[in-house]
Amino acid sequence: MSIPRIVVTGIGASSPIGGTAPESWSALLDGASGARTLEYDWVEQYQLPVTFAAQAAVRPDTVLERPIAKRLDPSSQFALVAAMEAWADAGSPEVDPERLGVDFATGIGGVWTLLDAWDTLREKGPRRVMPMTVPMLMPNAAAGNLSLHFGARAYARTVASACASSTESIVNAVEHLRDGLADVVIAGGTESAIHPITIASFASMQALSKRNDSPETASRPGSIDRDGFVMGEGAGVLILETEEHAKARGAKIYAVVVGGGVTADSYHITANDPEGTGAARAVSMALAMADASPDDVTHVNAHATSTPVGDPNEYVALKSVFGDRIDEIPVSATKASTGHLLGGTGALEAIFTVLAIRDRVAPPTINITEQDPAVPFRISGSAQPLGDGPQLAISNSFGFGGHNAVAAFASI
């Protein structure tokens, strides 16, 4: 029995640089930045050391109908907005509900709902806590609500692997489609965690950039003067299906998802392995599933968060897989523009990788003042052409807990 090919037929995104996938892609190519000063009283109230983040360009509750939005945490709102776009982009496929699955992800889940409910309990008592609090805050809320909205009955699964979450959900979707558990899968991830507690916590561990005077230039992966990542929010969704199913209904196809790899470092709860062993294995696993070699790769969307330690470690990992050729492959570090969407970042970057293949261009990496010699990727502040031949690109995601996930995409 032959292994079915899995294709991307729809994309949707709500990001700090655009309310849709096309808007986000256009802004990325234009070198936009989604980071800006936070205009909330709680920034001063709690004397936060970091006063900016990359908030979504379009609030999801302005897109959804009010009765729907009120019953969803912002993280689930983002998920539904992006999924509705992706579903429409895929042509709203007619599929047996028992052959439609959801593989979704988040890193933190409904943190706003949880902490707002705690404030309500302390200030107003238990009778004022909303009865929908738990269904809104639970990490599987996005997957469950997508299943309800689209009538997906094959399964609705949730991954919570920190910043590797939504790339892992894409890899899972490919495996589930190959195993025949569904014909179509709604895959992706979401996050809405720009909250005082997360900002304070990340800042306390020295993970965030503190460039409060210049938010738009704060995320600078690969730059020698980087000082941490920038919090982002939003969601990315890809409609994946077997090529047979897609062709039978005459669907447009963006790209083929040819491989994926998921590993664990077992090194440290927050720091990634400086030897890059687990990350390198995830890349190699993705290429092995794709029946490809490192020489076939034409583009890399790097995890590249802009932290002093993380960026060099990723280079070490890729160097061990690609050898000296890693210095020749066009690399993009798109978090320079979008910030870091935590559990939603892998899905958004997968979309950027798919569009890079389609348009044969590696998007620019903004804010590089001087490239760090320890991170000598072929990275540029201008878009880099990918050439006319077959394209094979990988998208990397690494997260707290030692989670590594890599997805590989090829041109059709």
Name the residues annotated as catalytic: 163, 303, 340
Residue with structure tokens 């969803």?
72
Burial (0-12, 13-18, 19+ Cβ within 10 Å), 215: buried
Residue of 187, 192, 190 whose CA lies nearest to 237: 187
DSSP secondary structure string for all residues of 29-58: HTT----EE---HHHHHTT-S--EEB--SS
Strands 155-159 and 100-105: parallel
As a whole number of angstroms, the distance between CA 85 and CA 74 comes to 17
Assigned token pair, 164: 């590797």
As a whole number of angstroms, the distance between CA 209 and CA 202 comes to 10
CA distance readout (Å), 51 to 15, 57, 215, 221 = 19, 17, 9, 20
